Structure 1
Amino acid sequence: MINLDDFYKVMCAMVPLYFAMFVAYGSVKWWKIFSPEQCSGINRFVAVFAVPVLSFHFISQNNPYKMDLKFILADTLSKLIVLLLLSIWAIFLNGGLDWLITLFSVATLPNTLVMGIPLLRAMYGDFTESLMVQLVVLQCIIWYTLLLFLFEYRAATLLIRDQFPGPTAASISKFEIDGDVISLDGRDPLRTESEIDANGRIRVRIRRSTSTAPDSTLSSSIGITPRPSNLSGAEIYSINTPGPPPEVAFGNADVTFGYRSTSPHLSGYASSDAYSLQPTPRRSNFNELDTIMGTTANTPVWVRSPAGGRILRPHSPAISGLKMVWDSPGKCQGVGQRQDGKDVGGEKDISFRIKTEEEDLKLNKTASNQEMPGALVLVRLILIMVGRKLSRNPNTYSSILGLLWSLISFRWDVGMPSLIKSSIKIISDAGLGMAMFSLGLFMALQPRIIACGAKMAVLGMLIRFVSGPTLMSAASVAVGLRGVQLRTAIVQAALPQGIVPFVFAREYGLHPDILSTGVIFGMLVSLPVTLLYYIFLGL
């Protein structure tokens, strides 16, 4: 039975975290203390130093030789059940890979490090810290890597379908990726070069585009104007929208891979900071691809026309039915019309035409006949991309180093030197508070707390706070967890949405509004929800 002392202990652990979050929120929203650029700097510190050092601190102090195998098995089983059910739905009921990734993220990946450790320690005792750290290790090394693999697989299929539609892709025998290509997420425009060997096999080279800005003639024709970024010094181009439009590159056989992610790089690490929320001064820092293209499918910018060209799909309130069709390098044909009745395009190198419904049907038929390269070729491509992405993530190193040190320390009873231990502790002590502070800054810079709409938000909250704990309780009972361990497993499954899945969703342009709502709104409702679970399970 839960008494007032137990309840007070939980509140003492959680209120300081929420206090840090709301102070940050008020500092931006009401008191105007921090500018968006300053928020980005604070968030950068959290992503690169505070959270990685915090992860190292907890993992290095956990004894890996006394791991609770039943608890780990229950957590793993619950995630595998979700993955299996979603896979069946995606394959046999046309659920699709996109929703498989999103629903798996929402249902199985809570904020264990920042919220789980202090909350569960206050509820059920110090021994739960070890259990939460074990889950953190699994999340960082296994589940986030799997999630990244799924995102890169999706990005690879989009690139292949765009550049090699129909049966052509089946002839690809090898992908060669330039060293400066870190990911296929679309944040950097990519281009492909292909060679055909004597056996008819295709070798494809993927490299960054040498032209990442629209042509000046094209820009003046359709109203694209450069504006300086408040975040990075790079230029962000807009077509009367809050986000960047597709990239346009003029070249010969090389074609820019033109689906864009949702925000520009801030620096070399910005694309892979697992806890980087990267607040921006624009009206929104998610779902910009949908705003530009007028679609919820997050499809690539470039699609192939029946004539062998490529169609660019800009969308803005000022331009209606605008399509750019590449029929040959450097030339397009057709016309578009503004809503005010004025034509755009004309007698220049670039002109426009409207794609007909018949062409749409042909494109859909081509997509349905799409073939893919061999499994080994595709897996090698994805593994290279995942490896490069992880190699630029500070949390990857902190988790692995923490695990290695714990293996050495508890195996041979080696203590960390006081000089190093104190240096780590001074940053890790600030880690929890700064992580919550960063969340508050992120909340304040968003136009809406519920970004994905009320219905989708309710569905997401039900999956996060009802379906997740239900499946976790079933898996826990199945492996034999009882008592306090069972209650711990259920409550940790009811924690708010993890930050890392949202960062990935934003980078790859896949339902970032849903994950953003899960992070922000989920954080607000998680305290009463977890308290209800705590009280109910204590009866």
Structure 2
Amino acid sequence: MIGWEDVYKVVVAMVPLYLALVLGYGSVKWWRIFRPEQCDAINRFVAFFTLPLFTFEFTAHVDPFKMNYRFIAADAISKVIIVVVLAFWAKCSSKGSYCWSITSFSLSTLTNSLVVGVPLARAMYGQSAVDLVVQVSVIQSIVWLTILLFVLEIRRTRSDFYSTDETLGASNKVGNRPVNDLEENPGALASNTKPSFWSLMKTVWRKLAMNPNSYACIFGITWAFIANRWHVKMPAIIEDSILIMSRAGIGTAMFSMGLFMALQEKIVACGTSLTIFGMVLRFIAGPAAMAIGSIAVGLHGDVLHVAIIQAALPQSITSFIFAKEYGLHADVLSTAVIFGMIVSLPVLVAYYAILEFLH
């Protein structure tokens, strides 16, 4: 049974994150230390340096030979369910869109497992639950955050293609025909200059090849296999070099979020309705999909409970960093992280109590 001491441990894990957030917010709003372009540079530093090293560090220390693959399968099924629903919504609904499907996927599936999930899982179900939460967090980094990065890069590359083509059509003064065609049919330029699938993919893969986030989790899990198969340790000089940056990963991410908040007109930048929408996806849709996936693979008892509770953990901080870097609904993701962590504790305790009562 979770007690006040356990709740205190979770609060202890969360308060330093809000300190970093407040420092970032104050450095722009109160002390005027950073300009907007400098805030963007700090977010890029987080996205391309501290977070990849943080991802490598925790991935490299998992034991892949002791993973609960049924638990991981349940998590995969739950995310596939979300993807199918969002794809159907984007295709068939007048209100659906590709961009909102990406954001909705982040809101409903990507969790902050390590900071909040680990102490809470230990308090509720012990070390075995901690192992499960860490395992699913590793898979999230290897598979789902990589897929998110891929689709975000596709979206940005397509946008770059079209913006470049439109600029060349508008600035071409050599002949009157391109201009006349554009005046008569505004959609003609986009249709005539639509990039081929392979040229688009070539550009996307080239950009991903230069992104350290693409390698961090792969190198980390590769080392985990080597280390646990042949019982070798990483040389101290390498491990310490990684740790000195990776330890700043989550803190600098929250600091960057504080910078972003300070540049907005309101603290709740996305508005009340979108905040509620994000909370519903985070704390209801995600756990519901996970419950379906868990039952489908035959999870039961405490493992089933851990699966549902970990799906209701607050929003992944990395999802905000990616959203900010790629310019897609960063206001919604920042609000989901900030208020999600505040709301998560009572929500998770409520889930725990309900599941124990039903059990």
Q: Which amino acid aligns with 1:474?
A: I
SS at match of 1:496: coil
Q: Deviations for 1:181-231, whole angstroms, at most 9, x for unmatched residues?
A: xx3343994239xxxxxxxxxxxxxxxx7x8xxxxxxxxxxxxxxxxxxxx
Q: Secondary structure at the match of 1:186?
A: helix
Tell me which residue corresponds to 2:11.
11
Q: Distance in 1 between matches of 2:345 and 2:7?
A: 12
Q: Which amino acid aligns with 1:147?
A: L
Shift of 1:138: 2.9
Q: Which residue in the other structure is 2:136 paired with?
A: 135
Could you report, residue by residue, the CA deviation over 1:419-454 in whole angstroms, capped at 9, with x for unpaired residues?
Answer: 222332333333333333333333233222333332
Residues 248 and 485 of structure 1, relative CA distance in 2, 3 Å threshold: farther
Distance 2:49 2:322 in 1: 19
Matched, 1:470 2:288: yes
Query: Cα 1:122–1:386, aligned 2, differ >3 Å: closer, same or farther?
Result: farther
* Equivalent residue, structure 2, for 1:35: 34
Counterpart for residue 69 of structure 1 = 69
Letter in 2 for 1:34: I
SS at match of 1:14: helix
The counterpart of 2:165, out of the listed 191, 194, 208, is: 191
Match of 1:249 in 2: 171
* 2-structure distance, mates of 1:4, 1:39: 38
Q: Quick one: structure 1 residues 484 and 13, their matched pair in 2 at CA, closer, same or farther if it must change by over 3 Å?
A: farther
* Equivalent residue number for residue 299 of structure 1: none
TM-score, normalisation: structure 1: 0.56
* Structure 1, 74-83 or 458-467: larger mean CA deviation: 458-467
* Matches of 2:155 and 2:48, distance apart in 1: 27
Q: Report the residue type matching 1:144 in the other structure.
A: L
Quote how far apart the aligned CAs of 1:409 are: 0.9
Q: Deviations over 1:42-101 (max 9, x none)?
A: 544433332222111111110111111011111100011111222233334453434433
Q: Are the equivalent residues in 1 in contact too, given 2:52–2:212 (CA < 8 A)? A: yes
Tell me how many residue pairs correspond in the alignment: 353
1:494 aligns with 2:305: no
1:422 corresponds to which residue?
240
Contact 1:149 1:382 in 2 (8 A): no
Give the drift of 1:500: 4.5
CA distance in structure 1 between the partners assigned to 2:149 and 2:74 by the alignment: 23
Q: What is the CA–CA distance in structure 1 between the aligned matches of 2:259 and 2:324, rounded to whole Å?
A: 17
Check 1:437–1:482 CA distance in 2 against 1; reply closer, same or farther (3 A cut). Answer: farther
Aligned to 1:436: 254
Instruction: List alignment gaps of at least 5 residues for structure 2.
Output: none
Q: 1:420 to 1:150 in 2, by over 3 A?
A: closer
Structure number with higher relative contact order (C-alpha < 8 Å, ≥ 6 residues apart): 2
Could you say which residue in structure 2 is the equivalent of 1:176? none
CA contact (8 A) 1:111 1:498 kept: yes
Larger relative strand fraction: 1
Partner of 2:343: 525
Quote the residue 2:110 is aligned against. Answer: 109
AA aligned opposite 2:111: P
Output the amino acid matched with 1:78.
S
TM-score, with normalisation over the residues of structure 2? 0.81
Alpha-carbon contact 1:128-1:488 (below 8 Å) kept: yes
Identity %, equivalent residues = 47
User: How far apart are the structure 1 equivalents of 2:93 and 2:240?
Assistant: 55
CA distance in 2: counterparts of 1:459 and 1:11, whole angstroms? 25
Q: Is the 8 A contact 1:9 1:123 kept in 2?
A: no
When residues 100 and 51 of structure 1 are mapped into structure 2, their CA distance, relative to the original with a 3 A threshold, is closer
**What is the CA–CA distance in structure 2 between the aligned matches of 1:372 and 1:385, rounded to whole Å?**
16
Counterpart amino acid of 1:486? L
Evaluate the alpha carbon distance shift between residue 442 and residue 486 of structure 1 in structure 2; reply closer, same or farther with a 3 A threshold: farther
The whole-number CA distance in structure 1 between the counterparts of 2:181 and 2:44 is 44
Please give the secondary structure, in 2, of the residue aligned with 1:184: helix
For residues 128 and 384 of structure 1, the distance between their equivalents in structure 2, rounded to whole angstroms, comes to 42
Asked if the contact 2:27/2:34 (under 8 Å) is kept, the reply is no
Of 461, 472, 477, which residue of structure 1 is paired with 2:279?
A: 461
Code of the aligned partner of 1:498: S
Counterpart contact for 1:110–1:493, Cα < 8 Å: yes
Alignment of 1:305-316 (within 5 A): 308-309=181-182
In structure 2, the CA distance between the partners of 1:26 and 1:503, relative to structure 1 (3 Å rule), is closer
Aligned-pair RMSD on alpha carbons?
3.7
Gaps of 5+ in 1: 156-182, 193-208, 212-246, 254-303, 310-324, 328-358
Cα gap change, 1:387/1:401 in structure 2, threshold over 3 Å: closer, same or farther? same
Superposed counterparts of 1:354-503, under 5 Å:
378=197, 380-503=198-321
Is 1:87 paired with 2:87?
yes
Structure 1 residues 454 and 12: alpha-carbon distance in aligned structure 2, compared to 1, 3 A threshold: closer
Return the offset for 1:403. Answer: 1.2
1:462, distance to aligned residue in structure 2 (A): 0.9
Pick the structure with more helix per residue: 2
SS in structure 1 opposite 2:291? helix
Matched letter for residue 34 of structure 2: S
Between the aligned partners of 2:116 and 2:129, the Cα distance in structure 1 is: 13
Could you report, residue by residue, the CA deviation over 1:204-262 in whole angstroms, capped at 9, with x for unpaired residues? xxxxx7x8xxxxxxxxxxxxxxxxxxxxxxxxxxxxxxxxxxx9634558xxxxxxxxx
